[in-house]
Amino acid sequence: MQTSRCKTHPTMPTHRSCSRCGRALCRLCVQGMSRASECSNCAHAQTDAPSEARAIWIVQAQMGLLAVLTLAFFVWSLTWRTAARPAIQRPTVPVDTAPFQPVAPVLGQVQLPSSPDLDLLPVVPEIDTTSKPAEPEPIFEPSSLDKAEKLVVAPRPKSPIPTPVKEPKVTRKPLDLAARFHTGNRLYRYNIDEIPGADKTIVLTFDGDQMANCVYQLLAILEEKKVRANIFLTGYFVQTFPQETLAIVQAGHEVGNHTYGHPRLTSYEQTRTQKTLENVDAAFLNDELTRTETVYEQLVGHSLSPFWRAPYGEHNAQIRSWAYAQGYLHVGWSSGYDSMDWFTNQQSKYYWRPEALRLRLLNKLDNNPEPGKILLFHLGSKRPDADQPYHMLAQFIDDSRQRGFSFTTIAELLDGNLGVTVPSTQAQMPPVPARKSH
């Protein structure tokens, strides 16, 4: 017969079984039992049950105590606030039981029934419509901190009335219609850099200041190709190069104002923003434009065309309005159509030699033929002669005409597209002196 074994110690034979669950127990299990008749499993179950019930009871008791304390605090605070609040005594309003007596209106005076409750009402003074307006109320003006105040009668200040903004006063009969045409956006007031409606049209412009080493080459090409241009000269150029100036005018080109000394007008060089410099105001710009016009008229015999160009392309709406007040409409250049011929760093990507410049301009014209484009060149620069743009100008004019483009001037464009009549500047001129031999 096979002997049963203990489940806890399989190598030990069964000594007896648990009186509660009947589990087989060996001698080792019996020795470790806390009770004589029950195994360890039954003994642990009976021991743990009271511990769990006790823990649940403790938690329930704590929650019940917390609820009681919370309710007691709420009742106490409500009772304290009710006891501490003072009783509100409402004023007693006397009731007038007398019947209402209507009062006849009196002109210029308000009559009120006599009653103690109406003593605090304001008395309306009698209005005299035949007398003069009342004198201004006196105000106190202290004479000094050490002396007593004295009574000074002063008129009551009137509220300021906003003054309407007026357009600058025109003194030179500028192109009114053209200026109004270009005032839709305040940033571009009194400025022309493209001509809407002038499709496939090109305006060649040249600036002259300190150098004139390309003047005669440019004039010869323009005369050969029958092209008139807009040329902007500084007063310095007119005084330094009078022979070249007369040659430009004699060739029939439109000459505009480029200020006298080519000054900086905005902070663009330092901050890349077109903010007017502190030393630049309307009087400063007026002096720059007037001096140039004076030396030009003394040399040529008639006034400049009503166009001007800001040095370095530095201008804003305020500066342009000052110039417009002197009769000048600003002419810029179309975006991307600066020849950069003033750039002398041959290692720069903006140093375009004649052939590269010609191809670049033609490509831009092919991609965007409208509106009318204004191109920027200069009458001279420090570049080597082989890199001067005039070498490609004749071929560029021919290529542009083959593409259907025509060449004109600003005055002709405005007159043809905006109905503006430009005052003529071609008058009797002194003969152009002979060119000096080099």
Global pTM?
0.57
Write down the H helix ranges in 280-407.
282-300, 317-325, 354-367, 390-402
Q: How many residues are recorded in the chain?
A: 438
Question: Do the domain assignments include residue 101?
Answer: no
Q: What is the pLDDT of residue 169?
A: 41
Identify whether 107 is part of a domain. Answer: no
The secondary element (H helix, E strand) that includes residue 375 is strand 372-378
Q: How many separate domains does the chain show?
A: 2
For residues 8 and 18, the answer to whether their CB atoms sit within 8 Å is no
Structure-block tokens of residue 431: 């003969």
Domain region containing 49: 14-59
Nearest to 419, CA basis, from 428, 411, 407, 429? 411
The tokens describing 434, both together, are: 């002979």
Task: State which residues of the chain have pLDDT below 70.
Answer: 1-3, 31-52, 81-188, 415-438
The reply to whether 163 falls in a domain is no
**Within-domain flag for 375:** yes
| Dihedral angle of Cα 283, 284, 289, 295, to the nearest 10 degrees | 100
pLDDT of residue 343: 84
Q: Is 31 inside a domain boundary?
A: yes
Between the CA of residue 4 and those of 12, 29, 137, what are the distances in Å?
Answer: 9, 14, 125
* pLDDT for res 27: 74
Same domain for 185 and 48: no
- What integer pLDDT is reported at residue 6 of this predicted model? 76
Say if 120 falls within a structural domain: no
| Residue 360's CATH number | 3.20.20.370
Domain match, 216 and 355 both: yes
Residue 119, pLDDT score = 42
Q: Which amino acid is at 421?
A: T
pLDDT in tens, 377-394: 999 999 999 999 999 999
Q: Tens digit of pLDDT for each residue in 47-95? A: 445 566 777 888 888 888 999 999 888 888 887 766 655 555 555 545 5
117 occurs within a structural domain: no
Query: What is the CA 78 to chain-centroid distance, rounded?
Result: 59
Q: At 396, list the tokens.
A: 């560029």
Q: Alpha carbon of 320 to those of 237, 239, 253, 341: distances in Å?
A: 22, 25, 23, 25
Asked if residue 412 belongs to a domain, the reply is: yes
